[in-house]
Amino acid sequence: MGNIHLPAEWEQQSGVMLVWPHSQSDWAGHLLAVEETYREIVSAISQHEIALVVCFDDAHRKHIGQQLTAVSTIDNLRFAIAPSNDSWVRDTGPITLRSSGGNYTPFEYQLLDFTFNGWGEKHPSTLDNLLTRHLHSDHHFPHCPVRTRPMVLEGGSIESDGQGTLLTTTRCLNNANRNPDLSLRETENRLKNEFGADRVLWLTQGFLLGDDTDGHIDTLARFCPDNTIVYSACTDPSDVHYPSLGNMAVELAAFTTADGQPYRLKPLPIPAAIYNAEGARLPANYANFLVINNAVLVPTYNDPNDKMALQTIAASFPRRTITGIDCRSLLQQLGSLHCATMQFPFGVLQ
């Protein structure tokens, strides 16, 4: 791993960043519902750590402040101003590396600012691609240098166990719409170099209808403590996801830890099909949970499988409070809870 590593999400945090939805984005037709969801997310985060809320402009900041007055823990609420195309900060925000000493950097943390191209040039991305630099220039990360990286990469496409292993998918990171000049081997080497990783575990199977990220890992499989992986699973043979998610489970079962032991695998059911107004199925899943200090926030969908998913995640994080948050509004723009947030390790936010 060298002198740097990508922390696991369950390591101690200083806060979580969100980009609040606004009318100059695709959220324009869903603002009332999605703002209610964001109020709930910010309220849950601010009970445990800082919630850094990014606003489009000063007028938007005033509007959001009125939204949050009654629900958030004010001492843990911070605001930033930065224009954005959309609110999926998991993919547009910085990824934090920790230094373990040596000559790599005099700072304990550094922020990697990868190129964001709208998930393979599917959506506008100019403002989102500048988000990290904008926030850094406004001194929101005063003790963390930013390293701008030419590689196209989104935070939702990688998982870290904090011990030198990354989990990802070939469907996303080996896609020609991201880094067409890189082979799979070259992409893996780049990941190891950027994140100080020893290993990269590649899933070739698994997808969710409606997902426009080309298979982000945070919708499919997630690391948990004690060499555990929870993953999206389908038990209905008539469901279109059944073959691919079944094949993904076989791939996960073949993976081993760095010391050669099998992972503890825990399936998460996928919710019953949810459709938008045009009749397209939306990518509802429970793997898109967010780990914060002393708690895990889990997306729910008013579905009978919500209870089982909450229980499975609770068993994987036995010393944390499990909080379900209805994320049906987030699905309208094809994301969920983890997609809408980006955590920072302890010490990054002041």
Q: Supply the CATH classification number for the domain 4-345.
A: 3.75.10.10
pLDDT at 350: 73
DSSP run (H or E) holding 168? strand 165-169
The domains of the chain are located at: 4-345
Tell me the residue type at 145: P
Burial of 39 (0-12, 13-18, 19+ CB in 10 A): middle
DSSP 177: T
- pLDDT above 90: percentage of residues in the chain: 93
125: nearest Cα among 55, 25, 211 = 25
- pLDDT above 70: percentage of residues in the chain: 97
Give the pTM. 0.96
* Rounded Cα–Cα distance for residues 301 and 331 (Å): 9
Q: How far is CA 70 from the centre of its chain?
A: 27
pLDDT over 70 (residue 266): yes
pLDDT at 75: 87
31-46 and 58-68 helices cross at what angle (nearest 10)?
70
Q: Which residues fall within 8 angstroms of residue 237, CB to CB, at 6 or more apart?
A: none
Beta strands in 270-316 (DSSP E): 290-292, 295-300
* Rounded Cα–Cα distance for residues 298 and 182 (Å): 35
Q: In what order do the strands lie in the sheet with 290-292?
A: 290-292, 295-300, 321-326
Radius of gyration of the chain (CA): 19
Tell me if residue 207 falls in helix, strand or coil.
coil
pLDDT band at 142 (very low <50, low <70, confident <90, very high): confident
Tell me if residue 107 falls in helix, strand or coil.
coil
Q: Which residue would you say has higher pLDDT here, 3 or 256?
A: 256
* Rounded Cα–Cα distance for residues 123 and 119 (Å): 7
Q: Are strands 228-233 and 264-269 parallel, antiparallel or unpaired?
A: parallel
